Structure 1
Amino acid sequence: MAFEAGLRAGLFVALAGALLPAWAQHDPIAGRGIYTCTTPDGRRLTGDRPIPECLGREQRILNADGSTRSILPPFLSPEERAAKEAAERRAAAERIAQQDAIRRDRLLMQRYPNEASHQRARTLALEDAQKSVRGSERRVKDLTAERKPLLDEAEFYKGKALPPKLKQQLDANDAAVEAQKTLIENQKAEVVRINGVFDAELKRLRKLWGGTAPGSLPPAEPPSRAASGG
């Protein structure tokens, strides 16, 4: 074990020696300050250029009076650099998502400054769907009335085959009724979906109106498939 640890340490120092010139090239003040760091085993080292033993650790670059001029970050392996860049991308995406959440909450509060304005918007959004339901229900009643004389006529042919024209009229009436019933169910599902959206908004708005900071609430959940008729 001690031999393996020593071998790894030797390889690390060799790598440091190989990479140090390139590393120093990317440091705009390399060779023009006092470098200091603490090694993993606690030794404090100082030099006039980046210190190989601290390749993987942060190094402070000092002025002549001992004040800190800058910090030289640890050298990263390709794997470590890839992980760091991935973490930075995730952090950037989270910042953007947070900014978007704040913007959406503020826009929601601007659109609906109080509960009355939100209720007016709900009523308006429901109007078309509810009107469609009422229209289809009236059409079903009309079709039911149209079917009655056809059924009365069919009584004369009890036990016999219906005339093709009469059968065609009855089948067309059945299909029209089923189509209207499907429309009614779809529009009722749309009413449920719209109410679900406005219920979720109202729940969020009440917290925002109450002083909760925009962007601090969990993301709104989309309407369920059942509510949307899916």
Structure 2
Amino acid sequence: MALQDRTRCGAWSMLLPLLAAGTVAAQPASPSGSSIYSCTDARGRTLTADRPIPDCSDREQRALSPSGARRIVEPSYTAQEQAERDERARQAAQQASRLNEERRRERALLVRYPNLATHERERVEAMQQIDTVIDAARKRLGELAKERQSVDDEMEFYKKDVSKAPPSLRRKLDDNEQSVAVQNRFIAAQDDEKKRVNARFDEERVRLRPLWAATAPAGAGAGR
């Protein structure tokens, strides 16, 4: 081999290790396009890697993409743990929904009854409406009592043997008794309705007091 060629080969032999070292040094810490994951493990150590970190599989990990976007990697759970998390999330969602619905109802209630006087006025009107219905039923009872008296007068002729009374007369007696029973049941139901309506207004007043207080002008009372 010529001297010049041997010299050139020797030079390359010396340069190759240096180039290789430079190539290694120039490589990035993570593969091209990989995210960087970081977390604090159970021992308090801050760990970083180019892939999800096994020591932090039970906790959140932060991932930073090459573009600079950040995201949270959720822990990996067993089927039971995931089911428990889903159940907690479901209950939390239901609770939030109930709270939102309760606030919506309170707003609607406050719009309907902006003050105590309005609320009490509607209570009185509701009671009056029920009393009107009850009065009509009692009036009907009075009419039935007169009809019963007329039937009883006719039955006087058959008091020794009621079975001899005409079928039409016995039907009148039965119809009258059934009608009286219906009216009495109706009146009892309306009395129960009055109690229910009064209880509803009492409950609404309890709920409305703090709302009235919150919306009342400074120095004004919210009502008792």
Q: Are 1:148 and 2:149 counterparts?
A: yes
For the aligned residues, what is the CA RMSD? 3.1
More helix per residue: 2
Give distance in 2, aligned partners of 1:173 and 1:73: 76
Give distance in 1, aligned partners of 2:109 and 2:115: 11
Q: Are 1:40 and 2:42 counterparts?
A: yes
3-state secondary structure, aligned to 2:214: coil
Structure 1 gaps, min length 5: 1-28, 64-68, 213-230
Task: Report how many residues are paired.
Answer: 181
Q: How has the CA–CA distance of structure 1 residues 62 and 40 changed in structure 2, closer, same or farther, with 3 Å as cutoff?
A: same
- Please tell me whether the aligned partners of residues 35 and 64 of structure 2 are also in contact (alpha carbons under 8 angstroms): no
- Paired residue for 1:186? 189
Give distance in 2, aligned partners of 1:62 and 1:98: 37
Give distance in 1, aligned partners of 2:174 and 2:205: 47
1:101, distance to aligned residue in structure 2 (A) = 1.0
- Paired residue for 2:21? none
Kindly provide the amino acid, as one letter, of the partner of residue 51 in structure 1: I
Give distance in 2, aligned partners of 1:100 and 1:46: 45
Give distance in 2, aligned partners of 1:74 and 1:155: 92
Q: How has the CA–CA distance of structure 1 residues 173 and 43 changed in structure 2, closer, same or farther, with 3 Å as cutoff?
A: closer
- Paired residue for 1:171? 174
Kindly provide the amino acid, as one letter, of the partner of residue 106 in structure 2: D
Q: Are 1:51 and 2:53 counterparts?
A: yes
- Paired residue for 1:211? 214
Give distance in 2, aligned partners of 1:198 and 1:30: 66
Instruction: Give the TM-score normalised by structure 2.
Output: 0.67
Identity of aligned residues (%): 39
Deviation per CA, 1:62-119, whole angstroms, max 9, x where unpaired? Answer: 79xxxxx654432333433333233223222222221111111011111101111112
1:130, distance to aligned residue in structure 2 (A) = 1.7
- Paired residue for 2:160? 159
Deviation per CA, 1:170-195, whole angstroms, max 9, x where unpaired? Answer: 22222222222122112222222222
Give distance in 2, aligned partners of 1:172 and 1:79: 67
1:43, distance to aligned residue in structure 2 (A) = 4.5
- Please tell me whether the aligned partners of residues 126 and 191 of structure 1 are also in contact (alpha carbons under 8 angstroms): yes
Q: How has the CA–CA distance of structure 1 residues 145 and 30 changed in structure 2, closer, same or farther, with 3 Å as cutoff?
A: farther
Instruction: Give the TM-score normalised by structure 1.
Output: 0.65
- Please tell me whether the aligned partners of residues 30 and 50 of structure 1 are also in contact (alpha carbons under 8 angstroms): no
Q: Are 1:195 and 2:198 counterparts?
A: yes
- Please tell me whether the aligned partners of residues 129 and 191 of structure 1 are also in contact (alpha carbons under 8 angstroms): yes
3-state secondary structure, aligned to 1:83: helix
Give distance in 2, aligned partners of 1:30 and 1:82: 34
Q: Are 1:92 and 2:96 counterparts?
A: no
- Paired residue for 1:118? 119
Give distance in 2, aligned partners of 1:106 and 1:125: 22
Give distance in 1, aligned partners of 2:200 and 2:122: 12
Bigger Rg, structure 1 or 2: 2
